[in-house]
Amino acid sequence: MANPEHIETLDLVDKISVIGYRLGLSLFSVSLAWYCIIGFVESSWGQLPSTFQFNPASLFIVATLLSAGNLHVYDKNVRSIIMWSGWLGIALFSFLINSHFEWVAYGFIFVAFSGIALKESFCFRVFGLKLIPLLLFLTTLFMAIRLWTLSLGLIAICTLIFSYLTVQKWKMPLHFDIGNKSNYQI
């Protein structure tokens, strides 16, 4: 996690991992927005024609691969929980996509991004991040019981918070994400 007072010298791999992590956050924001737009359009006007359909699951998968795969957290147990919940969500998508249980895969990916939001809230003061775990939990619950309007409303709120986080992250120097390399548990 970041330590703004410490300026670590970054090599090429460090820079690529921070950029990958931030791209994952950006893509997660886009994924949430796309899910929300598709959901509201289909609930208002009915199913979109097949030429316009694009399942947001693939965006969530790539966002999770980028963010969970390039996570910078000192504690290996916390890092493992966040990463493995993301990997499990990705694996579950291959079995549950377009089924009534797709919400389970989303739930695990939301656990990963809830952990990322909490991690970021401890490092940086970004408004609303501490609410993300609750909002994503409720979103998953509403997906499971098919309360789509409530689910989409919560996703819209999460989109705003993660979009704000993404903008703030891209403004920060890259070394903020790495912190002190000597503090990482391997």
Confidence of residue 46 (pLDDT cuts 50, 70, 90): low
Residue 8 has pLDDT above 80, yes or no: no
pLDDT, residue 41, reads: 79
pLDDT, residue 182, reads: 65
CA dist list (Å): 60 to 21, 74, 89: 13, 25, 10
pLDDT tens-digit profile of 108-125? 999 999 999 999 988 778
Question: Among the residues of 12-56, which ranges form H helices?
Answer: 12-45
Residue 90 CB burial class (10 angstroms; 0-12, 13-18, ≥19): buried
Q: Which of 77, 81, 70 is nearest to 28 (CA)?
A: 70
What's the mean pLDDT in 27-40? 92
pLDDT tens-digit profile of 148-179? 899 999 999 999 999 999 999 999 888 787 77
Residue 132 and residue 140 in contact, taking contact as beta carbons nearer than 8 Å:
no
Structure tokens at 153: 């409303």
Structure tokens at 122: 């401890």
Q: 18-22, 28-32, 173-177 — which is least confidently predicted?
A: 173-177
